[in-house]
Each structure stands twice: as C-alpha cells, then as structure tokens.
Structure 1
Amino acid sequence: MLPLGPAQIPALIKQARALEGAGQLEQARAKYANALAIDARLAPAMFQMAQIDFKLQRFDSAAGLLDRALKLKPGEQALWGLYVRVLEKLDDRARTASFLERAKAAPLPPKFVVAMQDALTGSRTKSRVDLGGAPPAEVQKAIRMMETGDPAGAVRVVSALRRSHPDVALLADILANAQAVLGNTAEADAAFHDTIRLAPDYAEGLANYGAFLQRTGRPTEAIPHLQRAVKLMPRMTRAWVALGAAMVPADRPGPQAEAALRKALALDPKHPQALLELAQLQLQEHQAQQAVETVRAALKAGADPEVARLCLGRALAELGDETGALAEFDALLAANPDFGPAYTARGGTLQTLGRFDEAHADFRKALEIMPKNGESYRIFLLAEKISADDPLIPQMETLVEDETVTEFSRANIGFALAKAMEDTKQYDRVFTYLRPANDLTRKLHPYDIAERRDRIDAIRTAFGGRDLPARKVAGTSDFAPIFVTGLPRSGTTLVEQIIASHSRVTGGGELGYLPSEVERVLAGPDHVFHDIDKVSDADIARAGKIAAERMLALHPGADIVTDKSVQSYLMIGPIRMALPKSRIVVVQRDPRDNLLSIYRNMFAPGLHLYSYDLKDLAAYYHLYEEILAFWRAEAPGWFYEIRYEDLIADPEAQSRALIEACGLEWEDACLNFHENKRRVDTLSVHQVRQPIYKSSLKAWERYGSEIDELLDALGGDYARKD
C-alpha cells in the first residue's frame, strides 16, 4: 500500500463523511484522524472529530481538539459554538472562565461573545449539588462509567456510596439513570423518586426523571417534572426537548409541543434530538413535507440515523411516495437486519398498499426482534385474522400481565388480544382484555368531555342565526374537493373508496387542510371562534385557496380530490363558504356498532381521547348529533348523508345515489371499489380491500351486559330494556 499523502485528503474526508452519515462514528473518526496525520493544520478535520467525540460523550477529547482548531482559526464561530456545548457538559468553572477570556480576545462579533457568556454564566446550565461528604473521586468514577458505557459498573459504585451517604440526591440520580440504561424500570423509578424527594429543586434530576417517564410511555406524569425543570433552569435545552416530546402523546395542543421544541432550537439551532422530535410532531400533525425537511436537517445535525431515517420513510409514505418510503426502510434493514422498528414501519406501509402477505412477513420478523413491543402486535392484527392455535396468543397473554412491559405496550397488547378473541369468535373473552386496555390508555391520556361541550357551544354561537346560504363570499377558489366525514369507524373509509374509484377522483385520505385553515381564520389564539359576520370575505377565501394549494400540491393534475378528515363535520358551514363548489358527505352508522367499534381500537397518541370510556363515547355521540342538527338547520342542503347500514343492504342503489350527490356520472368501477389499488392509511386498511360484507352489522349484540353502560348512556331507544 502506498503511503498516505496530501492528494488523498479529499478522498479520506469524503469517506469519513459517508461513514458519519451512516452512523459509523468510530470508523469516521479514524478517517478524519488519517487526514489530520497528513496535514496537522487541517482544522475542519479537528472540528469533525470533536463533533464525534461530543456525540460519544468524550468531552475532554473534544475540548482538546477544539483548542487545537481555535489556534488555527480563532474567528471560526462554529468551533466556539461547539466548545460552549462541551463546556456545558464538563461543568468546569476554571475552564469556562479561561474559555471566556480567550473568546473576548478573539476576532469575534461582540454579540456572539455575549451570547456565549450568557449561555455559560448568564443563566444556570448546571445545578450545584451537595455531595454531603461523598468522596468526589468516587462520584466522578461513577459518572465516567456512565459516560463510557458501563452502567452496571456505575450501579455498583453508587450503590456502595449510597450505603454511607443515603441523602445525596446526585447519587440517587446517577443510580436512577444507570438502572434506566440497564432496562431496570422499577429500580430506576424508585431511585428517581429518591432524587426528587431529596432535592425537589434539583433541575437536572427533574429533567432526567421527566425524560425517563416520557421514554417509558408515561408522558402525562413527565410533563410537570419537565415544566419544573425548565422553570428552574430555562436554558436547559434537553429539558425543553423532552417536554416537547412528552406534550405530543399527552394531548397537549400541537402548538404547545412545538413551542417547547422551538425553545430548545432557539437555544441550540442544530440540536439533533430537538429537530428529530419536531419532525415527528410535524408528521403527526400531517405536515409531511415540513417533516421531510426537518428530519433531513436532523440527520445533517447528527441525529440518530436509524430513528431519523425511519421518520423520513414514514413522512415520504404520508406524502404518497411509497416507493421512496420503502427504499428508506429497505436501506435501513440492509444496514441493520435486526432493526425491528423498520420492519414494523415497512409492514405498515405495505398494508396500506394492500400487499398483506409481504406485510405479514415483516410484522412476524418485527415481533421476533421486539417481543415486548405492543404496538407491533396491534398494527399487525389490524389486517390479519389470527387462528386460535397461533402461538402469538399465549405470548400476548403473558406479556399483558408482565409488569416489566411499559404501560403503553401493555395497552397495545390488550387491544391486540381483544382483536384475537374476535377473530377466534371467543366473544365472551373480548372485554377481558378490551376494558383494561381502554382503562390503561385513559390513564395515560386523561380527557374531560366538557372540552367537547365547550367547542360545540362556541361553534353554535359563532354561526347560529346568520343565514349562511345567503352570504356569497367574494374571491373564492373554484376548486371542488369532496369531503367525506362522520365519526371514526362509521364507514367513511368505505365511502371514500367508492368515490375514489371513479375515474375523475383521486383519493386523498385524511388530509384535514381546510378544516385546519378555516379554524385558523375563525378562531383566535385562545381558540375562541369569532362571529362569522365579522370575518372578512378575503380571510375566508384565502383559507380555501391555501387548502386547495396544499391538496393539489399532494396530487398535482388531479381533477377532484377527496378529504376524509373525520372532524370536517364540525366545520360544514365555513368549508362550504370557503370552497362553495366542494361537496360534503356525512356517513351515519348505528351508534351501538359505531361506538363499540371505536372502543375496540386504539388511535394515534393524542387523537380521539374520548374513545377510551363508554360513557364519554355516548356523550360524544350526542354532541355529534347536536352539531349535525345545527348544520341541517343553518346550512340546509350543504351536505349529503348516507347510512352505513343502507349501503351494506343495497350497495348499488346507495352507491349510485352517492355518486350523483357528488356531482359525478355513474361508473361501474365504483361498485368494484375493493379492486382500487390506491394507498389506504386507516384502521380499515384490510376491510376496504374486501367486497361489502354484513358481519359488522349488529355486532354489539354479541357482548351482552358488557356494554350496558354504553347503552344506558345513549338512552332513548338504545337503552337496554328490562
């Protein structure tokens, strides 16, 4: 082999960057070191090596590399910025003071120097903790063990120290974090409790506990700890990141979660985890294009490449680029054949495309790799009928009682087991798993039905008695989408599939752009609706145009696009005002079957939180009926209603009437909707690929007294008669 020379530096740097992008940090660092061995003045290589050392928690090494680089490039702000992050981790007063003196003498903008000084000394970024007589060298030894990947060693050292120093919060915190890394959830939880008990204002302890609760599926419990942490230490970036991540599944409004993540990014614009959490929030909010851009920025910033590319694949699938999504998942699995989440994600995407055999293989592999991941069981069984002798059933029965499995996973497994009991016709055992699964989910995501009552009242106040059909909004778009709406599990997916099988129609799925836009126009920051008479034509028309642009950007060249956002029925009036040529179809279903079907399913975190309590389901249904009656009176003729039971009983006549109501000419393809190969991303992913069947009618009758609570809450003709 020829000796390395200057001509080989570009190739070495290119190889290093590729390895770093693939997450092979040690190999990448070695390539940068080779380049530096050729040219000892190569500051960019020092910077890249320092970044890698920072990710690997080798903070002293990173500082040494940055010292060398700054001698060569004292005005390079990126070097100084990374050094600030290193010093925050080292928490060395003498080093920090020396650093700031050097910064003041360097050729840097004064505002930049002040910002660094504020970051390091203006607000606390580290708590001062009392060791209470514990030997500092032993404490540092435990910390180094954590930093170098030896949590078991840290447990041994700290456990010994705690016998002599049981009241030192820092020792409890180190122990808690070490136990968490080892997967000892109960032991970690107990140690975190000790940490907070011993030092209620220890910001890092609060942040660590909050992040632990968020990671282990207890976001509602995490939020108060994280809020306390950022109040005590407003510049603790990682606490803001964990707070934003916890707020998403805990059903805090999207803006609150985003605000927390934006705060983290204001402190550190290239914080990889903050960018990654923001991308996942955007994906959940159906902002798929923004998610793609954000996750790519996260990858560039050094986010975990597997998690980030998994998010990228899901975002591409949401945008309708299934080929790109599958390519991302394939690449992930080629690099790491044991990366279970990629099998689940690829299986879910294949389900939406109707490729169930391939999806089956992926889910089975995911469950083999991640046997305690409840979500994989639930998603798998959405499109799979399981047999009574399938070994998955006893496996799930064991896991649902396993206290080492997270509550979130156990809830998912409970829903999966209820589905397995349905599949095997053991109807007397369905509620054995279904009720605890719902109760557990409700515990994780509390909900107050009064919130819905307030929302319905606000809409009625804003739109009631205004003679909406008489108002002709000027400047509206001619775009004419078809909105299919109703309660979840009412048959909206089936109805959309029938319509989308028409040659002029492109099925959009659950977009929700126009309802979101009109609410942005109609409601203030306090979410209180404005009087519609006081909202200008220009604002209403603009909302329609923005939604039209977003829908057509997803489906360029489409003639008619459907939107199956189930919440559209709330905004029937303003939707038709913003896009007068649109059509709205409301799907109705016997509430006993409809609500039971909702109760039998688990939804994405933060969505449909009323669905985990039978009384709340009935109350929610009554409010749904109330708002539809309101729109019938205030906007007569602005929407078409179809009953699921009628459609099942007479598919052709009902489908013809539906297509006519949508302003379309009849096409026989609309009766063969199950042959439509378009992507379907809903809980009905399997059913919509089948011809119409009647087995879902009067399914509520199978459950006897288990649903008396629901029937009594529905009241009237639905109540159980003695």
Structure 2
Amino acid sequence: MNTQPPTDDVIFAGSGSRADALAAGRRLLETQPRAAAAQAREMLAIDPHDGDALRLLSAALRALGDTAEAQSVDQAAIAAAAHQPTLVRSAVAIREGRLNEAEHLLRPWLQEHPDDAAALRMLAEIGAQAGARPQAIALLQDALRVAPTYSSARLRLATLLIEQGDMKQAADVLDILLSMNGADVAGIGQTAASLGRLGEFRHAAQIYEKLLAREPDHAGFWLNLGHVRNTMGDTAGSIEAYRKAAVLEPGNGMVWWSLANLKTFRFSDEDRRVMEAQLNASPALDEERRLHLHFALGKAYEDARDPELSFRNYQAGNAIRHGQSGYRPEIIRSSVDRMTEVLTPVLVQRMADAGAPERDPVFIVGMPRAGSTLVEQILASHSKIEGTAELPVMPALVRALEEETGAPYPDLLADIAPARLAQLGRDYLEATRIYRKTDRPFFTDKLPNNWLHAGLIKLALPNATIIDARRNPLDCCFSVFKQNFARGQQFSYDLRDLGLYYCEYVRLMGHLDAIMPGAVHRLIHEALLDDSETQVRGMLQAIGVPFEEATLRFYENDRAVRTPSAEQVRRPLNTSGMERWRPFEAWLGPLVDALGNVLDCYPAVPAKSA
C-alpha cells in the first residue's frame, strides 16, 4: 500500500524533533490517516523500535482499512517494549516480585503513552498479583482495544475472568483467541483445563475440539478431550479421543491408563500386545509413562482373568509410585493421635454453635473407592441438592490456619477463638461459591480425605451434614491399590500402608462418634446395595430434605461426574464391584495383617481399632 500522501504536513526524517514529528502524525490521524501513516514511517526510518511511531502507524492503517498490516504492526509495537528501558526495568521488577517499584515506573509512563498495550499488560499483571482482579481485567481490555491481536493479553484476560467466575465471557475471549493466527495453543489448552477443573466441561470440550481442528496430531489435546467427554457422560466419545491419542503416542502410558480408568472398558488382546511392546521396547521410558502402562496392563490382565499377571503389574506401578512418595504410615497415626487428644468433650462443648450457622454443605468423607461418587450421584438427583466435586477448599483453609497461627494442625484447635471458627465457616462457603452452578440450597463436597477434618468441619459449620461412606475393607483397599492415584493419596501405593491408613480412619471416626454423637451419618456401602431406599431415606433425613423418587433413579441423572467411577454411577445399583479382591487373595496378606480386627469386626467398629 502506498502510504505517502502529497502533503506538506509530514515532517521528514532529520528535519525536525521527534516530538514535533509525533505531534504532527497525531494531528493528521483523524482527517488524513494516509499522511499520518507516512509520518509514522518517517519516524520508524530513524528508530524501527519507536513504540509511539508503531502505535501511530497501526492506528492509521486501521483507519485506512488495512487490518492485516495493522495487526503486524501491533506485534512490533508490543515487541518494542524489550527496547524501552522503563518497560524493561518494570518487567524485571514484576518478575522479581517488586510490584510497588514496577507500578511507580509504569504509571508515569502510561500518562505519557496511554495507548502502550505492553505497558497496560504489565500494569494489569501487577493488579492481578496484588488481588485487584477487576482493575486488572479493565486494563487488559484497554490493551486489547489498542492491540486486538495481543494474544498474551487476551489469554491472561481469559484466566482472570475464570478466576472471577465469569465463565461465559472467558469462553468468548478464548473463542476470539482461537481464531487468531499464531495464538498460544499450549496456553489455550491450559486454560481449557482450568475451565474443566471448575466444572465448565462443555466450554472446555468446545475449546479442545477447536484446538484439534488446528492441530489434529496433538496427542495431549486428544487425551484431555477424552477426559472431558468422560466427565460429561460421553463414553463412546471419550474412547474415540483416547484411541486417537494412543495411535499418535503409543508409549504414553497415561492414554492407556485413561482407557483402563473408564472401568467398564475392556482391553483387547492386541491392546495388551501394544502395551507390553512399549514397555519392553523402550528401556529408557520415563517412570511416569512406565507406571501408567503397568496400571493399565493390570486392568487388561484382570479383564483377561489372569490375576497373577494382573497383580504383578499393579504391584510394579505402585512400587514406582511408592518410591516417589516417601510416605510413612506413622505420620497419619500421629495426626490421629493428636486429633483424639485435642478434640475433647470439653472443647466440643465450649465451641458448641460457635461456627457459621449455614446448612448448605453436605460433606461426603471416607476412604477413596468407598462409594462416595455413588452417594454424590444419588444426592445430586434430589431437586434441592447440587453435586459439585472433590473440592480442595477445606485442606487449603487448614493450611491457611497453620500459617496464620504458627501452630501445627490439629494442635491449633485447642486455642482457636469461637469467632475464628465462625469466620472459617464463612470462608469455606465463600471459597466454594465458584464451584456452584445452580441455586439449589444444598451442595456436596465429596473430598474423601476430609475425614481428617470432620471434627473441625463440625465446629466451623455445626449445621452442615457429614456422611461417612464406608465400604468393606478388602473391597475398598484393593480397589484403591488398583487405582493409580497421581497425588493426594500417598498411602495407597503399598498394601500394608493401605491397611494401616484404613484403621486410622476408622479410629478417628469412632472418636468423633463418641464425643459428637450423631454428628456423622454413616452409610455402609453393602447396606446401600442391599436396601437402597431405606439407606437413601436415611441420608436425606440427615440432610433435612424430603425423600424424592429421583434419588433411586440416580443413573438417569446426566450431570457431569469427574471421578474414576463416572461410568459406574450411570448404571443402576449392582454388586459387580463386590469381592473383586478374591482372585487376588494369595497376594493380599500384608493388607489383611494390617487391617487386623478392623476387618474382623466390619461393619462394626472394634473397641480398639488400631
């Protein structure tokens, strides 16, 4: 495009000051954009990194309708920040956490250069890190008005909108980003994962599908799309996605484990041959891929009714995990010891009704693989109860309490003020708000490990419901051993550790029964299978809602389910999961020994369970 106009208003290179040239260009922009573009090019002939000149040229090109070149100039203007000393110092200060220093540099700069998108993006980052999210969002929107193709700013805007809970607008921002050339596909993929973690599965699936339209050979995107589809109940779609990932990366054990983790999926003989070949042909295969292949082969050989090879692979996968974890069973025993010492009848009486009065949360606690997903699915089929997920909120609040008090948990409970307990309850309700998608008055939190915090939960939220979902120790623990937990369940990689952990769980819940009678509603899994209506009515009564027939038809509920039991809870109640340990009995001695009289007494609790 010829941008040189026949005008005497252009100040040519070297014939005047930079300030005069810039002022002339800005005067020309509104009425003579072609002349303004020529003025900008004259300035860039002297300094190709002149950010003001680049922004002037971009504005002139847009006024002339040359959007494509304007976008290219926008990127050059953003890159010019690397040549501007003030912005370089600001970027270094932000990276090193000196936010006040960076802000003091950026604000005067933006007063003189209000259309500097890179500076606006930096100031927005300061706001985001300082907790001023609305102001950061406004600054990013300003940056995008100046430079609509500024992909880094658009991606950051999407993440902040997600953090603020504005999922629809975040998805719209990502849609625009996906339409741009050169967009950061890895960053978009990470943002899609964030949407999935917050329950926005439909938006996440749409983003992955659009990413795959651009990069159809990206195995990671196929894998993540499989996860989202499984959560949404699209089993066939998830298998299709996992299969495509397996073709692209047959040595990626996570892909094979994801198929195994569908539970109802059955591997073929050819699948087993491919997985074995990957293990044997790749001696340098990293630990993560190797352990996932072992867990998947454990499931494959279990399907083929070869318990010895199945157990050998489960054990090999767990051995790798165990070596990574550094878990020691005495840690959980010490925690339960301290909990039983601190949580006394005197403390409970002193703190009675001190917490927040709300009844909203329904905590489903216990061991993993004990039926908590089934319980959640049943409850979420009630018109007044929303099913959320395994929420990380309570453990995070406990960590914050430790930092605040400087005392370890649970010792800090001995001196906690009643008002602080009430605040903790309110903090929990506020932090869980982002996970709620409906206006139902009750919601579930099915993080199993919250059994460790059940006493604190009852003090901070005395009217909340706690349901202890308990399953036969051998069925439960062996199912855990087969599960391949990536994190958060370090006790699960050794049979003896598993048995000891189960005993500590039983011991603490027994203590709570003694000092807080009726505070925890216990649901025995086998009783639920035997007489579902009676057990469901009991749970609903504990929560304080009337019985509804839909809770017995929970398998008709098409809500998203994020856990490994997703496919299983979409079927009517059945006993297919009972006594799955029996073919493996010859190898379960360490588990049986560790469980001791807890196993002998089940479902009753021994007088001394550990």
* 1:632 pairs with one of 513, 518, 522: 513
1:466 paired with 2:360, answer no
C-alpha spacing 1:494/1:386, structure 2 compared with 1 (3 Å): closer
C-alpha displacement of 1:564: 0.3
Partner of 1:135: none
Q: Deviations over 1:400-422 (max 9, x none)?
A: 23213211111011111111122
* 1:404 pairs with one of 261, 268, 284: 284
Answer whether contact 1:473 1:541 (CA < 8 A) is retained: no
C-alpha displacement of 1:512: 3.6
1:517 paired with 2:515, answer no
Q: Deviations over 1:669-719 (max 9, x none)?
A: 111111111111111111111111112112221113111121122223748
Q: Deviations over 1:460-488 (max 9, x none)?
A: 23323425156334472424211111100
The amino acid of 2:513's aligned partner reads R
Answer whether contact 2:263 2:565 (CA < 8 A) is retained: no
1-side partners of 2:591 and 2:54: how far apart?
Answer: 63
2-side partners of 1:303 and 1:526: how far apart?
Answer: 50
2-side partners of 1:361 and 1:37: how far apart?
Answer: 57
Partner of 2:565: 684
Partner of 1:656: 537
1-side partners of 2:353 and 2:182: how far apart?
Answer: 47
Alignment of 1:270-419 (within 5 A): 305-383=184-262, 385-387=264-266, 389-401=268-280, 402-419=282-299
1-side partners of 2:184 and 2:305: how far apart?
Answer: 43
C-alpha spacing 1:4/1:79, structure 2 compared with 1 (3 Å): farther
1-side partners of 2:474 and 2:355: how far apart?
Answer: 43
Answer whether contact 2:500 2:594 (CA < 8 A) is retained: yes
2-side partners of 1:590 and 1:475: how far apart?
Answer: 34
1-side partners of 2:468 and 2:217: how far apart?
Answer: 44
2-side partners of 1:344 and 1:80: how far apart?
Answer: 41
Q: Deviations over 1:227-279 (max 9, x none)?
A: xxxxxxxxxxxxxxxxxxxxxxxxxxxxxxx9xxxxxxxxxxxxx99xx9xx9
- Give the number of equivalent residue pairs: 482
Answer whether contact 1:518 1:540 (CA < 8 A) is retained: no
2-side partners of 1:699 and 1:75: how far apart?
Answer: 66
2-side partners of 1:526 and 1:290: how far apart?
Answer: 37
Q: Deviations over 1:398-455 (max 9, x none)?
A: 1223213211111011111111122233223211211111101112332122222232
Q: Which runs of 5+ in 1 are unaligned?
A: 8-34, 49-64, 86-107, 113-257, 259-271
C-alpha displacement of 1:547: 1.3
SS at match of 1:312: helix
Answer whether contact 1:496 1:562 (CA < 8 A) is retained: yes
1:77 paired with 2:86, answer yes
Q: Deviations over 1:559-580 (max 9, x none)?
A: 1111101122112222122222
C-alpha displacement of 1:525: 4.2
Q: Deviations over 1:370-425 (max 9, x none)?
A: 11111111112211545464422111111223213211111011111111122233
Alignment of 1:209-220 (within 5 A): none
Partner of 2:306: 426
The amino acid of 2:310's aligned partner reads V
With normalisation by structure 2, the TM-score equals 0.70
2-side partners of 1:6 and 1:622: how far apart?
Answer: 83
Question: Relative to structure 2, which stretch is displaced further, 409-418 or 428-437?
Answer: 428-437
What do you get for the CA RMSD once the two structures are aligned? 4.0
Q: Deviations over 1:575-624 (max 9, x none)?
A: 122222211100111111111000001113x3101110111111111111
1-side partners of 2:38 and 2:251: how far apart?
Answer: 45
Partner of 1:5: 3
2-side partners of 1:630 and 1:303: how far apart?
Answer: 59
The amino acid of 1:615's aligned partner reads R
Q: Which runs of 5+ in 2 are unaligned?
A: 6-36, 45-49, 56-75, 95-100, 106-128, 130-150, 601-610
C-alpha spacing 1:292/1:74, structure 2 compared with 1 (3 Å): same
Partner of 1:562: 444
Q: Deviations over 1:178-222 (max 9, x none)?
A: xxxxxxxxxxxxxxxxxxxxxxxxxxxxxxxxxxxxxxxxxxxxx
Q: Which has the higher contact order (CA 8 A, sep 6+)?
A: 2
Q: Deviations over 1:273-310 (max 9, x none)?
A: 9xx9xx99x9xxx989699999999x99x999232212
1-side partners of 2:320 and 2:205: how far apart?
Answer: 33
Alignment of 1:170-181 (within 5 A): none
1-side partners of 2:575 and 2:353: how far apart?
Answer: 44
Answer whether contact 2:365 2:446 (CA < 8 A) is retained: yes
C-alpha displacement of 1:625: 1.3
SS at match of 1:603: coil
Answer whether contact 1:512 1:563 (CA < 8 A) is retained: no
1-side partners of 2:392 and 2:429: how far apart?
Answer: 11
C-alpha spacing 1:600/1:473, structure 2 compared with 1 (3 Å): same
* 1:492 pairs with one of 372, 377, 380: 372
Answer whether contact 1:498 1:670 (CA < 8 A) is retained: yes
* 2:550 pairs with one of 669, 684, 693: 669
The amino acid of 1:471's aligned partner reads M
Partner of 1:233: none
2-side partners of 1:715 and 1:373: how far apart?
Answer: 39
Answer whether contact 2:251 2:289 (CA < 8 A) is retained: yes
SS at match of 2:458: helix
1-side partners of 2:303 and 2:382: how far apart?
Answer: 33
Answer whether contact 1:466 1:533 (CA < 8 A) is retained: no
Partner of 1:481: 361
The amino acid of 1:689's aligned partner reads R
Q: Deviations over 1:326-353 (max 9, x none)?
A: 1221221122111111111111011011
C-alpha spacing 1:680/1:38, structure 2 compared with 1 (3 Å): same
SS at match of 1:466: helix
Partner of 1:39: 41
SS at match of 2:196: helix
SS at match of 2:233: coil
Alignment of 1:697-716 (within 5 A): 697-716=578-597
C-alpha spacing 1:46/1:459, structure 2 compared with 1 (3 Å): farther
Answer whether contact 1:288 1:318 (CA < 8 A) is retained: no
1-side partners of 2:241 and 2:421: how far apart?
Answer: 46
Alignment of 1:235-274 (within 5 A): none
